[in-house]
Structure 1
Amino acid sequence: MTPDELWNEIQYCFLNDGEASLPTLELQNLSAKEINSVYLQMRIQSQVVTPAPFFWHDVEKRNIPLDDVANAAELVVSGQAAPFSFTVEAIQIDDVILPMLTIEIFQDTVAISFSTRDHWNALRACAFFSWLSFLLDGTQAGQLVVSAVNGPPDHKRFTQAWNRFINDSGRAEQ
């Protein structure tokens, strides 16, 4: 699937509809180890742009800066910390830099939200799909799922485009 073919199928999900929109995709069916690994990979590939990002440590009953621990996701999946979110930029796939993304770490899911106000195009959408595929390649049964709460419009069409992209790249269908 070429970037233009993918873009023709999903551009409606990435273009500004006149409202502030943050469609969300979820990486599901991840083990605790896989959530930790995905989180660390995201941190390695990006720059956090959230001012003073932190998480709530349930055991210590206080906010802790995200970078004060080696892996805050590990504390979430072990039940020691509350789910948290942060915003990143500068993820580069080949020569394409993705727009800002918001990441949420839950005990059993990693959610990724993207703004429809950013400058998406065929190359960025294809790079985004490649990055999501790369993250899932490091898992046993991980799946990309459109958020039931705030997914992109036309969940079925988006999922079909994702499956076509994955099949064309040689990965098992989601």
Structure 2
Amino acid sequence: MIQKSPLRYPGGKSRAVKIISEHIPKDTTQICSPFFGGGSLEIHWAQNGIRVYGYDSFGPLVDFWQVLLKNPKKLANNVKKFHPLKKEEFYKLQKIQMESKNKLERATVFFVLNRTSFSGSTLSGGMASGGKDNNPRFTKSSIAKLESFKIKNLSIELMDF
């Protein structure tokens, strides 16, 4: 099964994967990605046998990826508790995101905010419109994709270059 990034990410490269990948030499076995973000390129490369060492300087994003790679079912089960998300809960979660000391909680909240915020902006934007208690991008199917996420050859660490 071909995996895709479960995130909406500003500046994401999902539409450019093919074009960018054409510039990677065929004999490449490892790639260091200093700006991991939504991970579309990196997931593609990992699925094609390239060992990817990903890095990002945004802690909540790194927490999300680390938890997803280690325990996708646990993450999905935590995310389910917030579905559907009411608008008044959205802003509470933004505050929790920055104050929580628990990595699983930060990863969970990051995904919920990513799927419900305008353009996936997570902390800087408001809740995307989609009705009073409804968000068209935070769906049961988006949560199910977390549960089945499995990728080899991929790691991500918190680092600023």
- Which has more strand, going by share of residues? 1
What is the TM-score when the length of structure 2 is the normalising length? 0.29
- Which has more helix, going by share of residues? 2
What is the TM-score when the length of structure 1 is the normalising length? 0.28
